[in-house]
Amino acid sequence: MAPQRAVRLSLKKPTYAVCVVGVETYVDVHSNVPKGAESFEVSGSSGVKISVVYDPAQGTEPTGKARWPLGAKVDVIMSVDTASKDLSDLKVKVSYFRKHEDSALGQSMLYLTGVDISLDVDTSRKGRVKRNRGDKKTWHWGPEGYGAVLLVNCDRDNPRSRHPDLADSRLTSLDDLKDMSPMVLTCDGPDKFFDSHKLVLNVPFSDSKRVGVFCAQGGNSLSDYKQVLGPRHLSYNVERQPGERKIRFYVEGLTFPDADFLGLVSLSVSLVDMGNLPEEVPLFTDTVVFRMSPWIMTPNTQHPLELYVCSVLDRHGSNEKFLKDISALVSKANCKLIICPWVENRNDRWIQDEMEFGYVEAPHKSFPVVFDSPRDRGLKDFAYKKILGPDFGYVTREISFAGASGLDSFGNLDVSPPVTVGGKEYPLGRILIGSNFPRSGGRRMAKVVRDFLKAQQVQAPVELYSDWLSVGHVDEFLSFVPTSDKKGFRLLLASPSVCLKLFREKKEEGYGEAAQFDGLEHQAKRSINEMLADRRLRNDSLYVQKCIDWNRELLKQELGLVERDIVDIPQLFVMRGSRAEAFFPDMVNMVVLGKHLGIPKPFGPIINGRCCLEEKVRSLLEPLGLHCTFINDYLSYHKLQGEIHCGTNVRREPFSFKWWHMVP
């Protein structure tokens, strides 16, 4: 432990000093020495630990009646292990001698007051504060790492409040303390000592808008808790009561990591001498560092908890039948169904585009957080007004000038299951977003959203090429499903090539007149023969396949996948101008509820009484232990350029893996 302070002794009068428990103090035995003195000896009262540090090359430790030489490089270090009961109740005596004389030429007396000052947080990440005399100023990732964690206090524990808790400088609910990380200030020492010394908590100006600190002053009722550090308070003179040895604080995060914020904040306490000096001088400072919990997405492989869907009405009527089918699927999956009524969605059915569920976690607590997209259509107020609440947080990012594009909707935001890529582990998966083709013009997700996702660090984003689609969302050509084998999942990709191959096989088997869209009232039928003979449909599909294949290779590279990890789902697309749309309901745009899949009913050619597209998908997925339910979304969703995934949203269980155990 490196010395923290130096104390200079005097031969003429006693010296008085403060010694902080666990902190080494250098005693200057060389500056004020009696004339003719060549050696010294040092002793202290019980409770004072004295060490003499010397250079073995210039001398040895004295034995018998021998003393320490003054000429050599010899230093005296002292420390105390406990706080004093009274002022100056510890002492150190230094005696100086001539060579070969037993009588001291002079003596210096040092009277010490030991005080125990320490600022402690949950550096070990065990969910409780433990005294730590080690490194509290740095934060380290990994299973052997250390450093405290803060939750962004973005929920609303008081239902009467209009804002998230982080917007309030006053505590509005005692439950809110559970969202905050505890911090304990040890302040043990004689009460009279604190008449001339004070403790000051500080937050750097750059961190003051990122963190808030609360403390109970005079009691434990709601009104007793005050914010003592935060955007309006850079320092706080600690109000220590007589006999008080520990003071408990509660620390909240105010902002998520972002492009201008790495996620680290620091707090410090200083022991300040208020007397006998022209200026207040800090005698000791202790600093702790927190990292803000990132916002973490959950992939399809996580167990479903709640499914959200909208009740809507259009020229074809209500989507009541669709809601009944979804309700039956939810019952099979044993999760909760939440229907957003028309009055709350204002006929905006695309609830996946409006928001994305994730969570935040600290060792002492975790809660879900909804990320509200910047698209702001009919559902724009739903997340804030209906989801934000006790232990359910809210975050959003706003686009300042140009406004949102289609790629800013969260159907264009997905996350893979955990993967390992070239030895690099991503235990929380990787975020996937759709974008334009590299180094080309076109649509791209807003920088403010991309920056936010990247800054979370724990799910390194991958940009895919989705601008070839009219809507432009990644959920139009990919999905993930859970499996019970070692891999744990499969990547599903829409495949025009597989679809055309299936139709050719059925033609060769003599089913060329079987028709796509058979049974649909609002869509002309197309026989297999007609579709295969349609040069435009064939060319469109070949172009789309090239776009998907480009993403396929990128996904294999960025997610560490091989071909056996990918399942090709038959799907045709047609070009509308320069961009593509699904020719029939897009089956890969499904909702995944554990082993139960809600798949858009494709209305494929009926062969031997069964839809050949459905049969093909069953043959691909059911051997993996999955259960396929095909749901009619044709009028309510497909004709409006969306499918089941677009019209539903699932909140899932958090990962059991702790994000701080990874190394980004």
> Which pLDDT does position 280 carry in this prediction?
77
Q: What angle do CA 171, 177, 180 make, to 5 degrees?
A: 110
Where residue 66 falls among pLDDT bands split at 50, 70, 90?
Answer: confident
pLDDT tens per residue across span 311-358: 999 888 899 999 999 999 999 999 999 999 999 999 999 999 999 999
Is the Cα dihedral 644, 648, 649, 652 positive or negative? Answer: negative
| Number of other residues whose CB lies within 10 A of the CB of residue 467 | 22
Half-sphere exposure of 345 (CA within 13 A, CB side): 22
Where are the extended beta strands (E) located within 501-564? 515-516, 526-527
Q: Which residue has the tokens 């001539």?
A: 98
Distance separating alpha carbons of residues 363 and 151, to the nearest angstrom: 10
- Amino acid identity for residue 527 in this structure: S
**Is beta strand 304-310 parallel, antiparallel or unpaired with respect to 336-340?**
parallel
> Which pLDDT does position 277 carry in this prediction?
65
Predicted TM-score (pTM) of the model is 0.94
> Which pLDDT does position 3 carry in this prediction?
47
State how far the alpha carbon of 425 is from the alpha carbons of 393, 421, 492, in Å: 28, 6, 22
Where residue 150 falls among pLDDT bands split at 50, 70, 90?
Answer: very high
What phi and psi, each to the nearest 5 degrees, are found at residue 205?
A: -55, -40
| Number of other residues whose CB lies within 10 A of the CB of residue 38 | 16
> Which pLDDT does position 273 carry in this prediction?
92
Strand partners, 579: 576
In 172-188, which positions are buried (b, 16+ CB within 10 angstroms) versus exposed (e)? bbeebbebbbbbbbbbb
> Which pLDDT does position 4 carry in this prediction?
63
Largest CA distance in the chain: 121
Check 154, 215, 340, 646 and give the catalytic one: 646
Strand partners, 3: none
List the one residue out of 590, 593, 591 whose CA is nearest residue 333. 593
pLDDT tens per residue across span 612-630: 999 999 999 999 999 999 9
Is the Cα dihedral 371, 632, 590, 627 positive or negative? Answer: positive
- Amino acid identity for residue 389 in this structure: G
What phi and psi, each to the nearest 5 degrees, are found at residue 336?
A: -95, 140
pLDDT tens per residue across span 480-512: 999 999 999 999 999 999 999 999 999 999 999
Is the Cα dihedral 482, 485, 488, 490 positive or negative? Answer: negative
Distance separating alpha carbons of residues 614 and 541, to the nearest angstrom: 20
Which run of H or E residues covers position 634?
Answer: none
List the one residue out of 125, 161, 163, 128 whose CA is nearest residue 145. 125
Is the Cβ–Cβ distance between 457 and 257 less than 8 Å?
yes
Annotated catalytic, 646?
A: yes
Q: Which residue has the higher pLDDT, 278 or 181?
A: 181
- 600-607 mean pLDDT: 98
Q: Which residue has the higher pLDDT, 439 or 163?
A: 163
Token code pair at residue 144: 């052997």
pLDDT tens per residue across span 197-225: 999 999 999 999 999 999 988 778 898 99
Distance separating alpha carbons of residues 299 and 492, to the nearest angstrom: 13
Token code pair at residue 222: 């709601």
Percent of the chain scored above 70 by pLDDT?
Answer: 98
List the one residue out of 398, 390, 385, 465 whose CA is nearest residue 433. 465
Token code pair at residue 365: 């607590």
Mean pLDDT of the chain: 94
Distance separating alpha carbons of residues 551 and 565, to the nearest angstrom: 14
Percent of the chain scored above 90 by pLDDT?
Answer: 88
> Which pLDDT does position 315 carry in this prediction?
85
Q: How many helices (H) and strands (E) does the chain have?
A: 10, 44
- 249-256 mean pLDDT: 98
Token code pair at residue 22: 């666990």
Determine the distance from the C-alpha atom of residue 5 to the mean position of all C-alpha atoms in its chain, rounded to a whole number: 39
